[in-house]
């Protein structure tokens, strides 16, 4: 199933794109598994997503932990800790 | 009244204060304004955000504050895009009949915004751009409202 | 910068915010505005004060706050004389590099002002004037800053 | 020695004057003694100053307690608890 991935801040810069559409395998069911799957595609993605401790995520625009489910999700965002205000 | 706005234009305090003061039953308005520090060596600050998700997150923060302190108005206005030293990044306001509610709600709005809204700051100093790191104190400040 | 003003004219927030934001090193400005509640049945509110002693008391409060939180600016502007529902009675502002200092100092300014400055409110309701009674909560709010 | 007494809010209204100059006896050395002395002058002053629990004072523009000294003072103010802000 197609999933839109959004990247923000330095994650976007390192990935080289702001957004992409992917079709991960059915056994990829959590955010953490999705990050592993994205990182395993090629060396550049692997490097961009290497710093897992500083990655945060949102599923369908709601902030979630890395163990959150992505089953049925349409949009997943990956980004560093927020620094607004 | 909940007022959420995210935009690239400068924040107009006259308009924002008029809205906050005009809410029904208002005897007290507490505000917080965050600025690009003019003497910090930063030439420009750029704010990136997650359109759609940002507004939803800010609305949740404002609605939580309005319910918790029975506010007449809760305002969150946040700027995005490039800005210069001295310019306003964020403005929050809480309007209530009495001061304790307004002051506490105002602190809550800015503390929660710092951890719950998808904004990212990139600053340019001496010609070099870098992403601002999150501060540990922000999570602690937001956590003190959980009870 | 300490700014103290007591006067009969309306409080101009644009000017006050410009002064508070313009202080050296300011990254955060917290403000509190007190208004005559428009829906409280009060037709007019009249503020009496003790000329000379009022300004000295406000200056002491602002200087204490500026020293305690290393503020770039501390502002207290208070209106006296007759005023109508919805009008501003008082405006305080605290400017600091970061938000915690600004927010705390702002609460301190208004809490101390409530107990330490010689102002007296007389309100007219249904054609009858009465002096407003001091609230027990005000002394408690001021006392929490003693440490 | 001449002493200026200032009255504010309902104390002023009840006293019927905003300010007066008095010369209390030398043994009147504290704010409390001054209030007693002022109240003892006539029935109207006595009534106006009867509610001692709700009286506050400043000596030479500094807030003080009722047991504060007035020796050498030039100005004493009497008023209700403050209600600004």
- What's the pLDDT band for B136 if we cut at 50, 70, 90? confident
pLDDT exceeding 70 applies to what percent of chain C? Answer: 99
pLDDT value at position C50?
98
> Strand, helix or coil at B133?
coil
Q: What is the pLDDT of residues D54-68, one digit of tens each?
A: 999 999 999 999 999
Interface residue B55 vs chain A (CB under 8 A): no
A80: chain B residues, CB-CB within 8 Å: 120, 131, 134
- The predicted model gives C63-69 an average pLDDT of 98
Closest partner residue to C103 among B32, B36, B100, by Cβ? B32
pLDDT value at position C100?
97
CB under 8 Å to B118, separation ≥6 — which residues?
A: A8, A58, A63, A77, A79, A82, A84, B49, B50, B53, B54, B57
How far C116 CA sits from the closest chain B CA (Å)?
Answer: 17
Interface residue D3 vs chain C (CB under 8 A): no
- What's the pLDDT band for B36 if we cut at 50, 70, 90? very high
pLDDT value at position A37?
97
CA nearest B34: which of A83, C61, C3? A83
Interface residue D53 vs chain C (CB under 8 A): no
What's the predicted TM-score (pTM) here?
0.94
For residue D19 the two structure tokens come to 């300010």
Compare B90 and B41 and report the one with higher pLDDT. B90
For residue C9 the two structure tokens come to 């004219």
Q: Is residue A66 pLDDT above 80, yes or no?
A: yes
For an interface test with D, which of C5, C33, C53 has the most D Cβ atoms less than 10 Å from its Cβ? Answer: C53
Residues A1-28+56-85: name the CATH superfamily.
Answer: Beta-grasp domain (3.10.20.30)
How far C56 CA sits from the closest chain B CA (Å)?
Answer: 24
- The predicted model gives A42-59 an average pLDDT of 96
What is the C-alpha separation between B94 and D49, in angstroms, rounded?
42
Q: What is the pLDDT of residues C88-99, one digit of tens each?
A: 999 999 999 999
Q: Do C122 and D79 touch (CB under 8 A)?
A: no
C-beta separation of C7 from B21 below 8 A = no
- What's the pLDDT band for C68 if we cut at 50, 70, 90? very high
Chains near A, with 3+ CB pairs < 8 A? B
Lowest mean pLDDT of A66-70, B29-33, B105-109, B136-140, name the range.
B136-140
Interface residue D58 vs chain C (CB under 8 A): yes
pLDDT value at position B38?
78
pLDDT value at position B40?
77
> Strand, helix or coil at D51?
coil
Listed by start position, the domains of chain D span 1-28+56-85
How far D7 CA sits from the closest chain C CA (Å)?
Answer: 9
C126: enclosing H helix or E strand: none
Q: What is the DSSP letter of C6?
A: E
How far A58 CA sits from the closest chain B CA (Å)?
Answer: 9
Q: What mean pLDDT, rounded, does chain D reach?
A: 96
B2-142 is a CATH 3.40.720.10 domain: no
CA nearest B38: which of B90, B86, B82, B87? B86
Cα distances from B77 to residues B18, B82, B91, in angstroms, run 14, 16, 5
pLDDT value at position C38?
78
pLDDT value at position C8?
98
User: Quick check: do D and C touch, 3+ CB pairs under 8 A?
Assistant: yes
> Nearest residue of A to residue B45 by CA position?
A84
Supply angle C-alpha B91, B96, B101, rounded to 5. Answer: 85
pLDDT value at position D82?
96
Q: For the residues of C46-103, what is the DSSP string, one character each?
A: EEEE-TTHHHHHHHHHHHHHHHHHT-SEEEEEEE-EEE-TT-EEEEEEEEESSHHHHH
How far B25 CA sits from the closest chain A CA (Å)?
Answer: 28
B45: chain C residues, CB-CB within 8 Å: none
pLDDT value at position C40?
77
Q: Is residue D44 pLDDT above 90, yes or no?
A: yes
CB under 8 Å to B84, separation ≥6 — which residues?
A: B36, B44, B45
Tally of CA atoms within 13 A in the half-sphere of B79 that contains its CB: 21
Interface residue B3 vs chain A (CB under 8 A): no
- The predicted model gives D9-23 an average pLDDT of 97
Closest partner residue to C131 among D6, D10, D85, by Cβ? D10
pLDDT value at position B135?
87
Q: Do C134 and D82 touch (CB under 8 A)?
A: yes
């Amino acid at each position: 199933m197609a999933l839109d991935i959004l990247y923000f801040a330095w994650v976007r810069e390192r990935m080289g794109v702001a957004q992409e559409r992917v079709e991960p395998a059915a056994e990829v069911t959590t955010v953490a598994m999705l990050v592993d799957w994205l990182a395993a595609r090629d060396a550049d993605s692997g490097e961009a997503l290497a710093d897992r401790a500083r990655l945060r995520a949102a599923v369908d625009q709601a902030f979630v932990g890395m163990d959150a489910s992505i089953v049925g999700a349409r949009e997943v965002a990956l980004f560093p800790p927020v620094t607004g205000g | 009244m909940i007022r959420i706005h995210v935009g690239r234009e400068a924040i107009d305090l006259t308009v924002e204060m008029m809205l906050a003061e005009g809410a029904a039953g208002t005897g007290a308005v507490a505000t917080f304004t965050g600025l690009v520090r003019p003497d910090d060596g930063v030439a420009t600050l750029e704010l990136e955000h997650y359109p759609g998700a940002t507004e939803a997150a800010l609305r949740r923060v404002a609605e939580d504050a309005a319910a918790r302190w029975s506010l007449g108005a809760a305002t969150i206005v946040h700027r995005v895009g490039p800005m210069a030293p001295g310019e306003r990044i964020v403005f929050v306001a809480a309007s209530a009949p009495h001061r304790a509610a307004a002051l506490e709600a105002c602190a809550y709005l800015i503390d929660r915004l710092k951890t719950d809204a998808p904004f990212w700051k990139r600053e340019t100093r001496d010609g070099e751009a870098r992403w601002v790191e999150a501060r540990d104190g922000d999570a602690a400040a937001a956590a003190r409202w959980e009870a």
